[in-house]
């Protein structure tokens, strides 16, 4: 069974500081990995995704993530956060078998930005 662990429930970062959100996954086959962001009262917006190829993936809003197979990790990074980045971030893993298409989400990391 696939699973995702986001060990940090809440992170507080100063505006302009760098950010790294951790994500570890468990999946028996080739994982498809995603990072989504959710602002209060909103649905989820895709930040970036990894399927294969280059292990460093660029996304929207200046985010990037690095896939490390040996560590089963897919950490999200941003060099300099903005106040508008305050939101909840979800890492997700998808199945690679047609007909078993579902996303398994982590429990999320709430990001607070302080001035």
Partner 1 sequence: KAGVTQTPRYLIKTRGQQVTLSCSPISGHRSVSWYQQTPGQGLQFLFEYFSETQRNKGNFPGRFSGRQFSNSRSEMNVSTLELGDSALYLCASSSIGLAADTQYFGPGTRLTVL
- Applying CB under 8 A, among 19, 73, 104, 110 the residue interacting with partner 1 is 104
- Could you tell me if 45 and 35 are in contact, meaning their C-beta atoms sit under 8 angstroms apart? no
State which residue, 15 or 32, has the beta carbon closest to partner 1: 32
Q: Which residues of 75-111 are buried (b: 16+ CB within 10 A; e: fewer)?
A: bbebeebeeebbbbbbbbbbbeeeeeeeebbbebbeb
- Applying CB under 8 A, among 49, 72, 75, 86 the residue interacting with partner 1 is 49
Of residues 82-101, those binding partner 1 (CB under 8 A): 90, 92, 94-101
The reply to whether 32 sits near partner 1 by the rule CB under 8 A is yes
Q: Which residues bind partner 1 (CB under 8 A)?
A: 32, 36, 41-46, 49, 51, 90, 92, 94-108
């Amino acid at each position: 069974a696939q699973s995702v662990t986001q060990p940090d429930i809440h992170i507080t970062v100063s505006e302009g500081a760098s950010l790294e959100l951790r994500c570890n996954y468990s999946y028996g086959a080739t994982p498809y990995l995603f990072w989504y962001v959710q602002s209060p009262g909103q649905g989820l917006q895709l930040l970036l995704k990894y399927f294969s190829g280059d292990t460093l993936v660029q996304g929207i809003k200046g985010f990037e993530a690095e896939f490390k197979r040996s560590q089963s990790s897919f950490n999200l990074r941003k060099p300099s956060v903005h106040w508008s980045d305050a939101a909840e971030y979800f890492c997700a893993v998808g199945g690679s078998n047609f007909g078993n298409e579902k996303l398994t989400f982590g429990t999320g990391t709430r990001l607070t930005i302080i001035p």
